[in-house]
Amino acid sequence: MKDFSEFEQKIGVNFKDKELLKTAFTHRSWINEHKYEAKEHNERLEFLGDAVLELAVTRFLYDKFPQKPEGELTAYRAALVNTQSISEEARKLGMNDFLLLSKGEAKDTGRAREYILANTFEAVIGAIYLDQGYEVAERFIAKHIYPKIDEVIEKKLWLDAKSAFQEAAQEKVGITPTYTTVDESGPDHDKTFVVAVSLGDEQVALGKGRSKQEAERAAARKALEVKGW
């Protein structure tokens, strides 16, 4: 059995109800194989944690950017709390080591694991909120999510990069960008795509991603940097 006290030490939170933390790491697939070892899976806690995360991040952005309009704040928030962002933080915290998964799910380390980690991160927030209250949950979010805002703004991760590059390209050179898949590798459940973005005959940048859309967005972000737009 996993020793969740290690995770408590890592995040500096000592749970009053240890079962809550275990539930936060319990995937529905694990319940199917261990019917008598767990009361419930983590989806209800994830639902709660998602709301706590959204409220905390919304208040943080509201205070930090008093001059920004609602639309821009919404885009910032989406970039901060998307699956990639929070699964990244889950990995840094070593949440992978504590997941309770079925044997089948445990083998999958691709995109599906990214979603599981993101959901678990939210479930942990929900568990902290129930066990310790909003302030402690908000401190956890402040430590692991708020600092990412600098990168979001610096790399323009909040922008729809494809739209931004298309607008800039049409305005500055009168050309609509085209996207071409130049490489595709890996098994079906964990593919990696490389996409080139071009302006006419000029290949401007390459982007990599777990889907063609993700690779196109990465290519567009890179192209904005290359062109200084």
What is the Cα–Cα distance from 103 to 166, expressed in whole angstroms? 45
Both tokens assigned to 99: 């997941």
Instruction: Give catalytic status of residue 108 as yes or no.
Output: no
- CA 17: distance to chain centroid? 27
- Active-site residue flag, 89: no
User: End of a domain among 113, 133, 154?
Assistant: 154
CB 29 within 8 A of CB 105: yes
Neighbours of 150 (CB within 10 A): 9
**For residue 219, what is the domain's CATH number?**
3.30.160.20
The DSSP call for residue 190 is G
Same domain, 112 and 72: yes
Residues 194 and 95 in one domain: no
Residue ending a domain, choose from 154, 171, 188:
154
Given 114, 122, 131, 138, which residue is catalytic? 122
Q: One digit per residue, pLDDT tens: the chain, 229 residues?
A: 688 999 999 999 999 999 999 999 999 999 888 777 767 999 999 999 999 999 999 999 999 999 999 988 988 998 899 888 999 999 999 999 999 998 888 777 776 788 899 999 999 999 999 999 999 999 999 999 999 999 888 877 777 788 888 988 988 999 999 999 999 988 877 788 999 999 999 999 999 988 888 899 889 988 988 988 7
Residues 69 and 166 in one domain: no
- Quick one: 12 and 75 in the same domain? yes
115 with 190, same domain?
Answer: no
Helix-, strand-, coil-residue percentages of the chain, each rounded to 5? 65, 10, 25
CB 29 within 8 A of CB 102: yes
Quote the domain boundaries for residue 213: 161-227
**Domains: count for the chain:** 2
Measure the CA–CA gap between 122 and 126, rounded to whole angstroms.
6
Q: Are residues 145 and 167 in the same domain?
A: no
Per the CB < 8 A criterion, the answer to whether 136 and 128 are in contact is yes
Task: Say which of 50, 105, 114, 138 is annotated catalytic.
Answer: 50
Among 119, 138, 154, give the residue marking a domain's end: 154
Asked whether 206 and 182 are in contact (CB, 8 A), the reply is: yes
